[in-house]
Amino acid sequence: MKTFKLGGVHPEENKLSAGAAIKNLALPKTAVIPLSQSLGAPSVPIVNKGDKVLTGQLIAQGTSFISSNIHSSVSGTVAKVDDAIDASGYRKKCIIIDVEGDEWMDSIDKSPELKSEITLSKADIIARIKEAGIVGLGGATFPTHVKLMVPEGKKAEHLIINAVECEPYLTSDHRIMLEKGEEMLIGTKILMKALGVNKAYIGIENNKPDAIAHLTELSKKHEGINVCALKVKYPQGGEKQLIKAIVNREVPSGKLPIEVGCVVQNVGTAYAVYEAVQKNKPLFERVVTVTGKSVKNPGNLMARIGTPIIALLEEAGGVPDVTGKIINGGPMMGKAVNSLEIPVVKGMSGLVLMPENEAKRMRVENCIRCAKCVSACPMGLAPYLIAQTSEIGQEEMAEGLKVMDCIECGSCAFTCPSGRPLLENIRMAKNKVGQLIRSRAK
């Protein structure tokens, strides 16, 4: 069975919510919709205080090359455009809407019928995806339409659908495959048309045999789509690792996947593309896994963007007393949040609640040079050495050690028997090397 070769670790899977069907979450009383929900420049608001908005109505526009549109997730009145705490933990510009109901724009096709015929042209598909504000839903939130515009001189050969979901606990992609498999495959077809490729692979780890079987069966109807079962290994959901595992190509250092003829899109993104292109529905809701060992009802919730996470946590049975940490995303790469008021955003794949005893770090001890971090690094770096150069402020050395290749998967810190903060130090080095590179470009 296929997998990537270099490094990798095996965290406990703990997919507690794998069996829980996607449930629609009730609308919040107030929706707080952050203006920066994708990589690149924040969106520019086009509504003012007092404006009436409908569900699916454009409320903020992406104006620069890398940015995305944002739509209202509810119907109601704009209360204000003001700073509020967002998923980053900082106060940032948000559009705050008092919810009055759920009246959808007329242009959206609300019917449940499956629409499998793809009528739009390549250019129209990309325009529709851009208009619908679709971004990478795996967590990276890179605007999808930008990824579909293949640069001059490059050629896309393969579309790879990332259905790995290698983060422990998370199951939102898994549920979409089981419940929205047909729609997701049509979404894949649409993406193939947009890229002009005739081959697509869906990479799924073999800890999800039901999804593999289901999609293998469904994909028989769709020419060119192959389901590719992969051996479980973290971080297989990393773009570079996934491309290596499926088509055995290595994206060169500092380059994008298109360099080796590949474009990678997440399962959730493929489903959102189906809804946008076939049903004209913008991205204003997503599946969020709410889980944790002490959570009463771990589940997968279809939540509107802007819903405060406390509503999701209550739906899952409340926040247990022992909770010490709440993670936005998976436990390997997600961010710990500092408030229960932060809203659901496009990039929020899950909320993981950790008990206090697991939330604390172990005592940091001397590096015993066991080389486990070196063996674990999927990018073939020497994490212990980069972390050391960072500690003593030698950015040039860190740059020479290819610190910018680090994908921040956390395998090094996960495996370190001395509990050293390897990734923190590496992130610091990345930050400083980034500044160094930018200052040279000037």
Interactions with other proteins, residue window 154-213 (CB under 8 A): 168
Instruction: Kindly identify the residues of this chain, within the stretch 62-101, that bind other proteins according to CB under 8 A.
Output: 89
Query: How far is it, in rounded angstroms, from Cα 382 to Cα 373?
Result: 7
- Decide whether 123 or 392 has the Cβ nearer to other proteins: 392
Select from 93-101, 192-200, 203-211, 368-376 the region that touches other proteins (CB under 8 A): 368-376
- Decide whether 143 or 168 has the Cβ nearer to other proteins: 168
Instruction: Verify binding: residue 367, other proteins, rule CB under 8 A.
Output: yes
Q: x/- site string to other proteins, residues 5 to 44, per CB under 8 A? A: -x--x-xx--------------------------------
Query: At its nearest, how many Å lie between other proteins and the CB of residue 209?
Result: 24
- Decide whether 81 or 251 has the Cβ nearer to other proteins: 251
Query: How far is it, in rounded angstroms, from Cα 171 to Cα 241?
Result: 20
Instruction: Kindly identify the residues of this chain, within the stretch 400-429, that bind other proteins according to CB under 8 A.
Output: 402, 405, 408-411, 413-419, 421, 423-424, 427
Alpha carbon 364 to chain centroid, angstroms: 31
Q: x/- site string to other proteins, residues 337 to 356, per CB under 8 A? A: xxx------------x-x-x
Alpha-helical (H) ranges within 122-266 are 122-131, 144-148, 172-179, 181-195, 209-218, 239-247
| Residue 12, φ and ψ in degrees, nearest 5 | -60, 135
Residues 6+ positions from 250 with CB-CB distance below 8 Å: 240, 243, 244, 260
- Decide whether 144 or 411 has the Cβ nearer to other proteins: 411
Instruction: Kindly identify the residues of this chain, within the stretch 270-329, that bind other proteins according to CB under 8 A.
Output: 319-327
Query: At its nearest, how many Å lie between other proteins and the CB of residue 260?
Result: 6
Alpha-helical (H) ranges within 149-291 are 172-179, 181-195, 209-218, 239-247, 267-279
Q: Pick from 112, 123, 361, 441 the residue near other proteins by CB under 8 A.
A: 361
Query: How far is it, in rounded angstroms, from Cα 382 to Cα 401?
Result: 8
Question: Nearest to residue 160, comparing CAs of 220, 200, 219?
Answer: 200
Instruction: Kindly identify the residues of this chain, within the stretch 374-403, that bind other proteins according to CB under 8 A.
Output: 374-375, 377-382, 384, 402
352 strand-pairing partners: 291, 327
Query: At its nearest, how many Å lie between other proteins and the CB of residue 374?
Result: 5
Amino acid at 141: T
